[in-house]
Amino acid sequence: MIIHTHSFSTTNQNKDFIKTLMVRKRWKIDQKQAREMRKKVQSLKKEQQRIALRDMLVEESKDLIQSQKFEKCNHDID
């Protein structure tokens, strides 16, 4: 009767190797997802900054229009 101990150790090595590959693949996927999330967060921040800037400009233009109307009314009274 011949016992194949070599094949047993090779099977364990293959299992370890496959586990290592799976861990690496999972890590790569996690890194890719993290990179995509960072891009999404950056684009959202840019969008929020754009909206805030637009709102600020709208408010300033309203104030400017009001002040011009007020000055025009004062000139009409004089």
The span from the CA of 57 to the CA of 49, in Å, is 12
* Dihedral angle computed from the Cα positions of residues 22, 28, 30 and 31, in that order, rounded to the nearest 10 degrees: 160
Residue 24 inside a domain? The answer is no
The whole-number average pLDDT for the span 7-21 is 76
Output the pTM of the full model: 0.49
Which residue range forms the structural domain that includes residue 52? 29-78
In degrees and rounded to multiples of 5, residue 13 shows phi and psi of -65, -40
Does residue 10 have a pLDDT over 70?
A: no
Residue 71 inside a domain? The answer is yes
In degrees and rounded to multiples of 5, residue 4 shows phi and psi of -95, 85
Residue 7 inside a domain? The answer is no
Q: How many domains does the structure of the chain reveal? A: 1
pLDDT tens digits along 15-72: 888 888 888 888 898 999 999 999 999 999 999 999 999 999 999 999 888 888 777 7
